[in-house]
Structure 1
Amino acid sequence: MLMIDDLNDWVTALGDHPQVFSPNIDALAASGTVFANAHAQAPICGPSRASLFSGLYPAQTGIYGQIPDDQLGAAVAAVSPTQLMPQHLRGHGFYIAGSGKVSHQGGQEGMFDEYVGRVDEHRGQYGPGPEQRMRWFDNRTHTDWGAYPDRDEDMFDYQTAAFGAEFLRRDHATPFMLALGFVRPHVPWYVPQRWLDMFPLDEIELPVVRENDLDDVPQAARDLAAVPQMPTLEWAQSNDEWRPIMQAYLASIAFVDHCVGMAMDALRESGHADDTLVCLLSDNGYHLGEKQRFAKMSLWQHSTRVPLIFSGPNVQQRVYTDPVGLIDIFPTVLDMLGLPANAENAGRSLKPILASDAVMALQPQVSVFGAGNFAVIDQRHRYIRYTDGSEELYDHESDPMEWHNQAANPAMAEVKARLAAYIPAEPAADIAA
Structure 2
Amino acid sequence: MNFKFSFLVAALCGSVWASAASMDKKRPNVVFIMCDDLNDYISGMKGHDQSQTPALASFAESAVMFKRAYSNNPVCAPSRASVFTGIYPHTSKNLFWGKWFQNAILKNSKTMMEHFADNGYYVTGSGKLLHHFTKNVWPYYNKQADYGPFYSLNGKASVAHPGVPAPFNSIGAIDGSFGALEAIPKNRAQGEGWLRGSWKVKDRSLNFDDSARRDMTPDEENAAWAAAQIKSFEKNGQDQPFFLGVGFVRPHTPLHVPQKYFDMFPLDKIQLPIIKKNDASDTFYTEVFDGDKKGLKYFELLKQSYPNQEAGIRAFTQAYLASIAAVDDCIGQVIDAVNSSPLKEKRQGTWPSIQLL
Compute the TM-score of the two structures, normalised by the length of structure 1. 0.58
Alpha-carbon distance change, 26 to 223 in structure 1, aligned in 2, over 3 angstroms: same
Q: CA deviation at 1:184?
A: 0.4
Amino acid at match of 2:136: G
Q: 1:44 aligns with which of 71, 75, 87?
A: 75
Structure 1 residues 355-387: Cα deviation after superposition (integer angstroms, max 9, x where no partner) = xxxxxxxxxxxxxxxxxxxxxxxxxxxxxxxxx
Q: CA deviation at 1:219?
A: 4.8
Matching residue of 2:140: 114
Q: Distance in 2 between matches of 1:316 and 1:270?
A: 15
Q: CA deviation at 1:221?
A: 7.2
Q: 1:164 aligns with which of 212, 226, 240?
A: 226
Q: Report if aligned partners of 1:141, 1:229 keep a CA contact under 8 Å in 2.
A: no
Q: Distance in 2 between matches of 1:159 and 1:188?
A: 17
Q: Report if aligned partners of 1:5, 1:182 keep a CA contact under 8 Å in 2.
A: yes
Structure 1 residues 143-195: Cα deviation after superposition (integer angstroms, max 9, x where no partner) = 31111154474311000101101101013521111111000000011111111
Q: Report if aligned partners of 2:101, 2:107 keep a CA contact under 8 Å in 1.
A: no
- Aligned counterparts, 1:177-188, within 5 A: 177-188=243-254
Gaps of 5+ in 2: 1-31, 153-158, 182-207
Alpha-carbon distance change, 37 to 64 in structure 1, aligned in 2, over 3 angstroms: same
Q: CA deviation at 1:36?
A: 1.5
Q: Report if aligned partners of 1:13, 1:26 keep a CA contact under 8 Å in 2.
A: yes
Q: Report if aligned partners of 1:12, 1:22 keep a CA contact under 8 Å in 2.
A: yes
Q: CA deviation at 1:64?
A: 1.6
Q: Report if aligned partners of 1:90, 1:96 keep a CA contact under 8 Å in 2.
A: yes
Q: CA deviation at 1:223?
A: 1.5
Does residue 172 of structure 2 align to residue 139 of structure 1?
A: yes
Structure 1 residues 230-289: Cα deviation after superposition (integer angstroms, max 9, x where no partner) = 2336446626322121111111011000001111111122212246xxxxxxxxxxxxxx
Does residue 344 of structure 2 align to residue 273 of structure 1?
A: yes
- Aligned counterparts, 1:293-304, within 5 A: none
Q: Report if aligned partners of 1:100, 1:117 keep a CA contact under 8 Å in 2.
A: yes
Does residue 306 of structure 2 align to residue 251 of structure 1?
A: no
Count of equivalent residues: 273
Alpha-carbon distance change, 140 to 251 in structure 1, aligned in 2, over 3 angstroms: closer
Pairwise CA RMSD? 2.6
Give the SS at the match of 1:213: coil
Does residue 278 of structure 2 align to residue 212 of structure 1?
A: yes
Q: Report if aligned partners of 1:96, 1:111 keep a CA contact under 8 Å in 2.
A: no
Q: Report if aligned partners of 2:255, 2:320 keep a CA contact under 8 Å in 1.
A: yes
- Aligned counterparts, 1:183-194, within 5 A: 183-194=249-260
Matching residue of 2:127: 100
Matching residue of 1:73: 101
Matching residue of 1:325: none
Q: Distance in 2 between matches of 1:316 and 1:181?
A: 19
Matching residue of 2:262: 196
Q: 2:150 aligns with which of 129, 140, 144?
A: 129
Alpha-carbon distance change, 18 to 222 in structure 1, aligned in 2, over 3 angstroms: farther
Q: Distance in 1 between matches of 2:220 and 2:126?
A: 11
Q: Report if aligned partners of 2:135, 2:141 keep a CA contact under 8 Å in 1.
A: no
